[in-house]
Amino acid sequence: RKEVEQDPGPFNVPEGATVAFNCTYSNSASQSFFWYRQDCRKEPKLLMSVYSSGNEDGRFTAQLNRASQYISLLIRDSKLSDSATYLCVVNTGRDDKIIFGKGTRLHILP
Amino acid sequence: GAVVSQHPSWVICKSGTSVKIECRSLDFQATTMFWYRQFPKQSLMLMATSNEGSKATYEQGVEKDKFLINHASLTLSTLTVTSAHPEDSSFYICSARRSGSPYETQYFGPGTRLLVL
């Protein structure tokens, strides 16, 4: 099992719809979790950290399920500008290393 | 917010030359900086972890003699690609983590596109 796995997509979603995707991680000792967004030919940018209690930032909601070892990202009322690749990032707590998922591509359709 | 800069943003060079990329944390001190490489349509791959004042820790498969990393200060790390070849053409991105908790988020530089002819 890969350390961090994501569905590569692409997810083609009409504007205004709600979309959700998950990311699974293999190391149960993982300490912290993040969602990053990467636009084409740009660097990743932090979207949000994922807290144990779940957290929300505007249209974005992130949740952590330690029992099943996955994190999720929900985007409500999707905008065209949400089109990007969403990277799941896990700090494994081992050797201070973070692992990136391969990313999920999201296309918001007008 | 935390700002990380990289210079240069684009490099085109001949095969066999060495290329130096700088990564700076502009408004915070970074005891740890990371260097990544990303090929087209691939995920970010960690190359090495750089701690200020000590030797970098390289990931398996990354040649430390080819990719020289220096982290001489709390705000600057450099990556030198020695004797670059076409297969080294890639998008090189650094990130920096604020001094303090190891679980702090990383802030990424804008990346450097290297094309070796």
In this prediction, residue B1 has a pLDDT band, given cuts at 50, 70 and 90, of low
In this prediction, residue B101 has a pLDDT band, given cuts at 50, 70 and 90, of low
At B79 the pLDDT is 97
What distance in Å separates the CA atoms of residue A20 and residue B67, rounded to the nearest whole number?
A: 39
Instruction: Work out the number of other CB atoms within 10 angstroms of the CB of residue B24.
Output: 19
At A103 the pLDDT is 93
Contacts of B58 in chain A (CB under 8 A): none
Contacts of A39 in chain B (CB under 8 A): none
The dihedral built from the CA positions of residue A42, A46, A48 and A51, taken in this order, carries a sign that is positive
Looking at chain B, the whole-number percentage of residues with pLDDT higher than 90 is 66
Contacts of B42 in chain A (CB under 8 A): 102
Residue labelled with tokens 């190359």: B47
Please tell me the distance in Å from B96's CA to the nearest CA on chain A: 12
Q: Higher model confidence: residue A82 or residue A45?
A: A82
Asked if A98's CB is within 8 angstroms of B102's CB, the reply is no
Asked if B108's CB is within 8 angstroms of A44's CB, the reply is yes
In this prediction, residue B100 has a pLDDT band, given cuts at 50, 70 and 90, of low
Looking at chain B, the whole-number percentage of residues with pLDDT higher than 70 is 94
Length of chain B: 117
At B5 the pLDDT is 94
Whether B102 shows a pLDDT value over 60: the answer reads no
Interface membership of A42 toward B (CB under 8 Å): yes
B25-62 tens-digit pLDDT:
998 888 889 999 998 878 888 999 988 888 899 999 99
Chain B contact residues (CB < 8 Å to A): 32, 34, 42-44, 46, 49, 91, 93, 102-103, 105-111
A28-77 tens-digit pLDDT:
888 889 999 999 888 888 899 898 888 999 999 999 999 999 999 999 99
In this prediction, residue B105 has a pLDDT band, given cuts at 50, 70 and 90, of confident
**Beta carbons of B9 and B111 less than 8 angstroms apart:** yes
- Which one of A73-87, A89-103, B95-109 scores highest in mean pLDDT? A73-87
**Beta carbons of B79 and B69 less than 8 angstroms apart:** yes
